[in-house]
């Protein structure tokens, strides 16, 4: 029998900063900066402030794919340490009032872009790449981009949070979000049975957005043993697609940028030049930049 909850919601909710699990120190019910600090500025037009979570990886993969395709998309990627509250600095809030990574500032246009899907779309339109130009194909690609933007919170903030991060294991929310995650995996599996990529025949921003989330899950690289729990191996077409997308050289580079955990040889905490992948991973520089 499921546990009976003893929690009775109060008439008016109030914030208890001591009762929020491992993210209690960085979550709060108000917006705006907590401290004054300007963002660093590098030499390239594109200034990215991010962290290698799935949402952050979307954008660094896109930038590396643009460079691999020959576009002039050089960028500076600055690490935002969300556990230290970097996202609440006045400089970051100026670029993203929602205080979430990633955030992009384009010095060449004076445009700020926040929300990972918006950044992908901005870059695709700026460089004319990875987004079909004909209306039917473009629309189908955007269908899947916006599907991801609406679906990923159920995977990350829902399933991932209650399965891997919540202070205690609770049957109801884990079951509720596991069911929704498996439904979403089935949506992807059925789509990818019929086409090579989410938008159709061509690799696009829809794949770049989705693989860091659902590809990472089926590959067993996030949320503890979630892949086993969700029987991820049974989604044959999602696994085929995840391997195809995530084995691309630009994808492998993109997932390293702004990474501050895991294998030190795969951590490029800041990225300012293509040569940084060879000379400035954490196994090579260690605490020299701390």
Q: Indicate if the pLDDT at residue 5 is higher than 80.
A: no
Quick one: 56 and 152 in the same domain? Answer: no
Q: What is the DSSP letter of 231?
A: T
Q: What is the mean pLDDT of residues 102-130?
A: 98
Quick one: 110 and 197 in the same domain? Answer: no
pLDDT digits (tens, 9 = 90+) for 234-278: 999 999 999 999 999 999 999 999 999 999 999 999 999 999 999
Quick one: 112 and 191 in the same domain? Answer: no
Looking at beta carbons, which pairs linking 265-272 to residues 24 or more positions away fall under 8 Å? 269/79, 270/76, 270/77, 270/78, 270/79, 271/60, 271/75, 271/76, 271/77, 272/42, 272/43, 272/44, 272/76, 272/77
Q: Which domain holds residue 195?
A: 135-252
| 217 located within any domain | yes
Quick one: 91 and 183 in the same domain? Answer: no
Q: Indicate if the pLDDT at residue 56 is higher than 90.
A: yes
The whole-angstrom separation of Cα 82 and Cα 66 is 27
| 40 located within any domain | no
Is residue 130 a contact partner of residue 197, using CB atoms and an 8 Å limit? Answer: no
Return the residue matching tokens 């679906």. 151
pLDDT of residue 28: 87
Is residue 68 a contact partner of residue 51, using CB atoms and an 8 Å limit? Answer: no
Quick one: 147 and 247 in the same domain? Answer: yes
| 230 located within any domain | yes
Q: What is the DSSP letter of 156?
A: I
Quick one: 183 and 273 in the same domain? Answer: no
Quick one: 94 and 169 in the same domain? Answer: no
Cα separation of the two ends of the chain: 50
Percentage, residues of the chain above pLDDT 90: 91
Contacts of 256 (CB under 8 A, 6+ apart): 52, 266, 267, 268, 277, 281
Complete edge-to-edge strand list for the sheet that includes strand 46-50: 75-79, 46-50, 103-106, 111-114
Which residues make beta-bridge pairs with 257?
268
Q: Indicate if the pLDDT at residue 2 is higher than 60.
A: no
Is residue 59 a contact partner of residue 50, using CB atoms and an 8 Å limit? Answer: yes
Confidence category of residue 3, pLDDT binned at 50, 70, 90: low
Instruction: Write the CATH number for 195.
Output: 1.20.1050.10
pLDDT of residue 20: 62
Which residue blocks in 42-158 are alpha helix, DSSP H? 54-68, 90-95, 116-127, 135-153
Quick one: 189 and 248 in the same domain? Answer: yes
The whole-angstrom separation of Cα 178 and Cα 154 is 9
pLDDT of residue 209: 98
Q: What's the domain count of the chain?
A: 3
Quick one: 210 and 265 in the same domain? Answer: no
Instruction: Write the CATH number for 76.
Output: 3.40.30.10
pLDDT of residue 89: 97
| 181 located within any domain | yes
Confidence category of residue 16, pLDDT binned at 50, 70, 90: confident
| 3 located within any domain | no
* The token pair that represents 228 in the structure block: 């086993």
Quick one: 242 and 285 in the same domain? Answer: no
pLDDT of residue 290: 41
Return the residue matching tokens 């990633």. 102
pLDDT digits (tens, 9 = 90+) for 61-75: 999 999 999 999 999
| 184 located within any domain | yes
Please tell me whether the peptide bond between 102 and the residue prior to it is cis, using omega within 30 degrees of 0: yes
The whole-angstrom separation of Cα 198 and Cα 215 is 12
Among candidates 64, 88, 84, which has minimal Cα distance to 75? 64
Quick one: 281 and 229 in the same domain? Answer: no
State which of 75, 104, 127 marks the end of a domain.
127
The whole-angstrom separation of Cα 209 and Cα 245 is 11
pLDDT of residue 289: 46
| 32 located within any domain | no
State which of 101, 127, 153 marks the end of a domain.
127
Per-state percent for the chain, helix, strand, coil, to nearest 5: 50, 10, 40
pLDDT digits (tens, 9 = 90+) for 31-55: 999 999 999 999 999 999 999 999 9
pLDDT digits (tens, 9 = 90+) for 132-183: 999 999 999 999 999 999 999 999 999 999 999 999 999 999 999 999 999 9
What's the whole-number average pLDDT of the chain?
95
State which of 105, 127, 149 marks the end of a domain.
127
pLDDT of residue 6: 80
Instruction: Compute CA distances 78 → 41, 163, 280, whole Å.
Output: 9, 30, 14
What is the phi/psi pair of residue 288, to 5°? -60, -25
Is residue 251 a contact partner of residue 234, using CB atoms and an 8 Å limit? Answer: no
| 120 located within any domain | yes
Quick one: 147 and 215 in the same domain? Answer: yes
* The token pair that represents 47 in the structure block: 């200034």
Confidence category of residue 94, pLDDT binned at 50, 70, 90: very high
């Amino acid at each position: 029998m499921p546990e009976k909850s003893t929690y009775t919601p109060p008439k008016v909710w109030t914030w208890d900063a001591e009762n929020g699990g491992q993210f209690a120190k960085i979550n709060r019910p108000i917006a705006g900066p907590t401290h004054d600090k300007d963002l660093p500025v590098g030499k390239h037009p594109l200034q990215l402030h991010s962290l290698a979570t799935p949402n952050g990886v979307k954008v660094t993969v896109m930038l590396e794919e643009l460079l691999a395709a020959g576009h002039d998309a050089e960028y500076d990627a600055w690490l935002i340490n969300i556990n230290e509250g970097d996202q609440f600095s006045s400089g970051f809030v100026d670029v993203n009032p929602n205080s979430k990574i990633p955030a992009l500032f384009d010095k060449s246009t004076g445009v700020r872009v926040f929300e990972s899907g918006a950044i992908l779309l901005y870059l695709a339109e700026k460089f004319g790449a990875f987004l079909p130009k004909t209306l039917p194909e473009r629309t189908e690609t955007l269908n899947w981009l916006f599907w991801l933007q609406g679906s990923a919170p159920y995977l990350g903030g829902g399933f991932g949070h209650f399965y891997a991060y919540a202070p205690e294991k609770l049957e109801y929310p884990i079951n509720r979000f596991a069911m929704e995650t498996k439904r979403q995996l089935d949506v992807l599996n059925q789509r990818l049975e019929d086409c090579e990529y989410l938008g159709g025949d061509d690799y696009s921003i829809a794949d770049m957005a989705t693989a860091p989330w659902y590809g990472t899950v089926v590959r067993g690289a996030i949320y503890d043993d979630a892949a086993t729990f969700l029987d991820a191996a049974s989604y044959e077409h999602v696994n085929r697609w995840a391997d195809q997308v995530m084995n691309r050289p630009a994808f492998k580079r993109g997932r390293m940028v702004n990474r501050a955990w895991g294998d030190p040889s795969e951590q490029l905490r800041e990225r300012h030049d293509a040569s940084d992948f060879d000379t400035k991973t954490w196994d090579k520089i260690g605490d020299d930049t701390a």
